[in-house]
Chains A and B, each alone.
Chain A
Amino acid sequence: MEKTWRNDAYAKVTGQALYTNDLAFPDMLHAVPVYADYVHAIIDQIHIQDAEDLDGVVKVITSQDIPGSNRHGQIEKDYRIFADDKIRYWGDVVALVVARDRKTAIEAAELVKVEATPLPSIHDPEAALKPDAILIHEEHGSNIINTHRIRRGDIEKGFDASDIIIEHKFQTQFVEHAYLEPEAALAVPRADGVIEIHGSMQHPFSTRRFTAALLGMRLSDVEVVGTPMGGGFGGKDDTAAVVCARTALAAKLLGKPVKVNYDREWSIRESYKRHPYRVTYKMGLSSDGLIKAVRCEIIADGGAYCSTTPWVTWRSTVQCCGPYQVDHVHCDTVGVYTNNVFTGAMRGFGSPQMNFVVEQMVELAAEKVGMSAVELRRKNMVQQGSATITGQVLDNHTVSMGEVLNAVIEDIDYDEKLKQCSFGKPEGDELYGIGLAMSYRGMSLGAEGADFCAAIINAQFDGSILLEVGIHENGQGAESAFILALAAELGVNRERIRYRQSSTSSIPDSGTTVASRGTLMGTGAVVRAADEFKKKMSQVVAPSLKCNPEEVHFKDDRLHGGQSDHSISFDRAIRVMYLNRKFPFAFGEFQGPSVTWDEKQGRGKPYFTWVYGCQAIELTVNKQTGRVKLLNAIAAHDVGRVVNPGMLNGQIYGGIAMGSGYALSEEVQLDAGKITNLNLNNYRILRSTDVPEMKAIVIENRDPNSPFGAKGIGEPTNEIMAPAIANAVYRATGKRFFNLPIKIDAQNGS
C-alpha cells in the first residue's frame, strides 16, 4: 500500500498541533455557558449578582450586553445567542460567566439563577403539527419549519397499474456527531481593533458573520483564523460558530483574550443533532418487479430552531426514491419545531434516514415479487441517460450505479453467501446474515445554496509556493488534497508547496465545508488558479524556451518548450518572473455548474453531478444476547478521481464505522426534552472491538463537471451502512427492523 502523506501529520503525531484549547494568551480569561433547567419557559428574570460577586469572576454576560443583533440562523433568524424571551430547549444558553480561571467560572455558573414560567412543552413532532399545539416560535405562526414536495406523474394511476403494493412506517433517532474534540473558542481583541478568533468550527465564514452581527461590527473587523480541529462531521456549524461569537463578545466587552472550552456534557446538551425522521412509505410494483409508484411522507423533528432543517429535508425529498427510476412519485416532507434539542447538518444531510427506508423497501418488495433484491435493484436503478424522479437527465457524467454494485457483489461473493444466511434457523447460537445497500448522491450544495470557491497561489522568489483555498480543513485532509492537486497541476514536487494558515481576512468567503463539497470545489478552484498561474509563467518564459506560450508545459519541476527540447527549472522560471517584474501569483475561482429547482412541483436539476456507492456487510447475531457482531464490510464508491489514497480509504472506513453506530448503538435519549446520555459512556460510538474488517474498492470515472475530476466521499460512505446492516440482520434473524437504532431482544434473536 502506498504511504499516506498529509501536511499536518507530523504536528499531530508529535502532539505539537495546537487545537483551540491548547492555545493560551497572556491575561487570558475563561468563560463558561450557563443553562437553565427548563425545556420550554418564559424567562422572567436572570439573577447574576451572586455569580458576579464571587471572587475571581469578571463579568456575567447576558442578552442585555449585546451591542449588535442577538438573533441568528443560517436560514431563519430564530436562534438567540443568549436566550432572552423564552427557553425553547434544554440547551439554550442564558448567560456566559467570565472569570480569571475556568474553575471559578464553573462555580459561578451554578450561582446564576433563572426565574422562569414553565410552558407546556412538545416533544413529539406529530403533536406539534396539531392545530391547537402550543407554538415554539409565536411570531412564526405555526410549528411548521418548512415543507417540500415532489409531484411526478400521476400517483393514483401509478398505484392502479401496480400488481403489488407494500407500505411500511419507519422511524429514526437523534444522533450526536461525537467529534472527539468538544467545542472550543478563543477570541483575542487586537491592537488594530480587530477581534481575532481561533475556534473549533467548520465554517470560519459563518462564524465571522455571526460574530460581526452579534458585536455590531463589520465583517472586516473580525478575523477567524484556521485552527486544527478535532472532528466536525457537519456538527461544528451553527453551535460551534455561536460558541465563537459568544467568546468574541466577552473579549470585546472586556478587552482581553477569552477562552471557552466545552465539557463533553455541555457539548452534547447544547449542540444540534441529526434529525429523527418518521417516514411512511408506500411502493407499488408490477408483477415483474418494476417500481411503478412511490408515495412518501416524511416528518423531520427540527427541535427548537430551524438551523439547516429546510436544506436537510430538501435532500431527503430529492433523494426519496433512492437511486431508482420511478414514474409516479408523490412525496410530502415537513420539518417541525418541537422543544427537543435542535437538529441540523450531520454527515449525510438527510440521506441516511431515507436510505434506511428505501434500501429496505426494495428488499421487502423483491420478496413480495419473488425475485432477488439485487435483480430488482438492477431493474430499477438509474443508468446512463436515465431521468431521476425530479426529471434530471443523468448524461453529464458516468452513471456508475451498476459498476459499484457489481464490484461489491463480486468481491464479497454475495450470491454464495446469501445461501449461508440463517434466517432465524433454530440450531446454533450465532445467526449469520449478509446485506447490502446502495445509493446515489447529488454532489455539493445543489440548489441549497451558492456554490463557489476561491484559491490563491503565491510563489516566492526561491521557488517555494504558498497555497490557500477558501475551504476549511476539518481534519479530513483537505489541505493535503489541495497541495497534491496543485503539485499535479504544476508538475512540481509537493514539498515546495506550503498551505498558508487560512484566515477569513485573506481569501473570499467560499462557503462551508459541508455536503462533501470540499474536495470537488476546492480542487476545482486550485485547478483554475493553476491555469491562470501557468498562463502567466508561460508568457514570460516562452521566448527563452523558443516556443509559443501555449506550448509550454509543466513537468518534473521544470518548464518545457513545445517541440523544442529547451527547458528551464521551475526555480529559475520563478526568478525570471520576478526579474521581469511579473508576480508569480494567481487567483482562481470555481463556480459549480448551474442547477435548477421548481419548489412547487419538486422538479429540476437539483445537483450538477452525482456519485454512486454500494456497501455490503456480513454479521452474526447472538441468539442468547441479541448482540450483533460485524464481521466484514466492503464498500465500492465512484470518487471521480483519487487525490490522496490513504485519506480516501480513511474516509470510507470512518464512514462505515459511523454508519454502523447509527445502525446499532447510537441514540441521543431524551426524557421530556432533557438529554439523559450526556457523555461517551452512554452515548455509544463504535470502539475498536466493534468494527468489522473493512475493504474499500475505489472506482474512478473522472467527472467532467469537476475541473480536477474528483468528487466527494465523506457522506456517501456513511449513508448506506444502516440499511445494509438492517438487511443483514434480517437475513440473520428473519426479522425486519423498521426503527433505528436496531434493538434486538435477547433470548430469541428477534
Chain B
Amino acid sequence: MGADKKMIIQINRNDIAIPERSTGMNLLTFLREELRLTGVKIGCGKGFCGSCTILVDHKPAKACQKTVVDIAGSSVLTIEGMANPDGTLHPLQQAFIDAGAIQCGYCTPGMVLTAHGYLMRNPNPTREQIKRAMAPNLCRCTGYQQIFEAIETAAEHYHL
C-alpha cells in the first residue's frame, strides 16, 4: 500500500484514488476497464468520432486522447453520472428519448455529454450554434436532426 502514492480524481461525484501504476494509463482504457464505466464508448480510438466523450471540469474531452494523469485533481462526468441517483433521467436525457434521437445508441453517451457541456455554457443556442457544438461527435444512424431537436427542447432546463 505504502508504495502506491495516491492521486485523486472526482468521477461522477465520487472521489477516486488512483493507484500510481494506473496514472500512465490511457484514460479511456482506465475508465472502461478499471472502473467499468463502459458507457464511455470506443469508435475510432484516435480522437475522430467523439464516442468516448466525457466532461472534464464541465468541458467535453475525448477520453481516448488522454492519459489518467492529465485529469489529476479534476472532476469528471461520464454518462453513468448523468441521471439522478434515484435513476430518474436528466431532462437532456429525457429529451433525447422523446425526440427520437437514439437509434443504435452507440454515439448517445458522447452526444449527451457534449450537449450537456455546451448547454451549461450557452443555454440559449441557435440551431447553427448547436450544429457547431456537436461537430466533434459522429452519428451514423440519425442524421443528427433529432439530436438537434432534443438539445433545443432541453435548453430551457439550463436557464438559471
Contacts and interface: CB of A to CB of B under 8 A. Distances in A.
Contact of B103 (A261, A475, A686): A475
B126 interface: no
Interface of B: 32, 36-46, 48-49, 51, 78-80, 82-83, 89, 93, 96-109, 112, 130-132, 134-135, 137-149
Of A3, A230, A685, chain B has the most CB atoms within 10 Å of the CB of: A230
30 contacts: A4-B99, A4-B100, A5-B97, A10-B89, A13-B89, A13-B112, A15-B37, A15-B40, A15-B80, A16-B39, A179-B104, A180-B41, A180-B106, A180-B139, A181-B43, A182-B43, A230-B106, A231-B140, A474-B104, A645-B100, A647-B100, A650-B100, A650-B146, A653-B143, A654-B140, A657-B142, A679-B44, A679-B46, A680-B138, A688-B147
A519 to B, nearest CB: 14
A689 B43 contact: no
Contacts of B40: 15
Nearest to B137: A688
Main secondary structure of the interface of B (DSSP, over half): loop
Interface in A15-66: 15-19, 21-22, 24
A679 B48 contact: yes
Contact of A13 (B44, B97, B138): B97
Contacts of A4: 97-100, 146
Contacts of B79: 13-15
A14 B82 contact: yes
Given A649-B146, A650-B146, A13 B108 contact: yes
Contact of A18 (B38, B109, B146): B38
Given A655-B143, A688-B130, 19 more contacts: A4-B100, A10-B97, A14-B80, A15-B40, A15-B82, A178-B140, A180-B41, A181-B104, A229-B104, A231-B141, A264-B45, A475-B105, A476-B141, A650-B101, A650-B141, A656-B143, A679-B44, A681-B44, A694-B143
| Cβ-closest 8 pairs across A and B | A15-B39, A475-B104, A646-B100, A230-B106, A12-B105, A653-B143, A4-B100, A657-B143
B145 A12 contact: no
Main secondary structure of the interface of A (DSSP, over half): loop
Contacts of B46: 264, 679-681
Contacts of A24: 36
A18 to B, nearest CB: 7
A691 interface: yes
B103 A14 contact: no
B134 A688 contact: yes
A180 B49 contact: yes
Nearest to A24: B36
Contact of B132 (A181, A681, A689): A689
Nearest to A647: B100
Nearest to A230: B106
Contacts of B89: 10, 13-14
Contacts of A691: 131, 143-145
Interface in A218-273: 228-231, 233, 261, 263-264
Contacts of A10: 89, 97
B97 A685 contact: no
Nearest to A652: B143
Interface string A434-468: 00000000000000000000000000000000000
A6 interface: yes
Contacts of A647: 100, 103
Contacts of B82: 14-15
Contacts of A13: 79, 89, 93, 96-97, 102, 105, 108, 112
Interface residues on A, range: 35 or more
A14 B104 contact: no
Contacts of B130: 688
A666 to B, nearest CB: 11
Given A263-B45, A475-B103, A477-B103, A14 B144 contact: no
Interface of A: 1, 3-6, 8-19, 21-22, 24, 177-182, 228-231, 233, 261, 263-264, 474-477, 645-647, 649-650, 652-658, 679-681, 685-689, 691, 693-694
Contacts of B142: 650, 653-654, 657
A656 B41 CA distance: 25
A577 B133 CA distance: 56
A22 B100 contact: no
A684 to B, nearest CB: 10
A434 B41 CA distance: 38
A19 B106 contact: yes
Contacts of B140: 177-180, 231, 233, 654, 658, 685
Contacts of A685: 138, 140
A9 B106 contact: no
Contacts of B147: 688
Given A230-B41, A474-B104, A688-B135, A3 B98 contact: yes
B124 to A, nearest CB: 18
Given A181-B106, A231-B104, A689-B131, A14 B143 contact: no
A650 B103 contact: yes
Contacts of A681: 44, 46, 48
Contacts of B144: 653, 657, 686, 688, 691
B47 to A, nearest CB: 8
Nearest to B148: A688
Contacts of B37: 15
B48 A476 contact: no
A14 B106 contact: no
Of A13, A22, A228, A231, chain B has the most CB atoms within 10 Å of the CB of: A13
Contacts of A233: 140
A680 B105 contact: no
Contacts of A264: 43-46
A12 B105 CA distance: 6
A653 B145 contact: yes
B43 A654 contact: no
Contacts of A9: 96-97, 102, 105
A694 B142 CA distance: 11
Contacts of A476: 103-104, 141
A182 B42 CA distance: 8
Nearest to B114: A688
Contact of A653 (B44, B93, B146): B146
A263 B49 CA distance: 13
A231 B51 CA distance: 13
A653 B143 CA distance: 5
Contacts of A687: 135, 138
A688 B45 CA distance: 20
A695 to B, nearest CB: 9
B62 to A, nearest CB: 12
Contacts of B146: 4, 646, 649-650, 653
Of B51, B102, B130, chain A has the most CB atoms within 10 Å of the CB of: B102
A658 B93 CA distance: 25
A655 B44 CA distance: 22
Nearest to B40: A15
Contacts of B104: 179-181, 228-231, 474-476
Contacts of B83: 14
A645 B145 CA distance: 14
A272 B87 CA distance: 41
B106 A231 contact: yes
Of B83, B137, B141, chain A has the most CB atoms within 10 Å of the CB of: B141
Contacts of B36: 24
Nearest to B145: A653
Contacts of B106: 19, 179-181, 230-231, 475
A6 B102 CA distance: 9
A474 B89 CA distance: 24
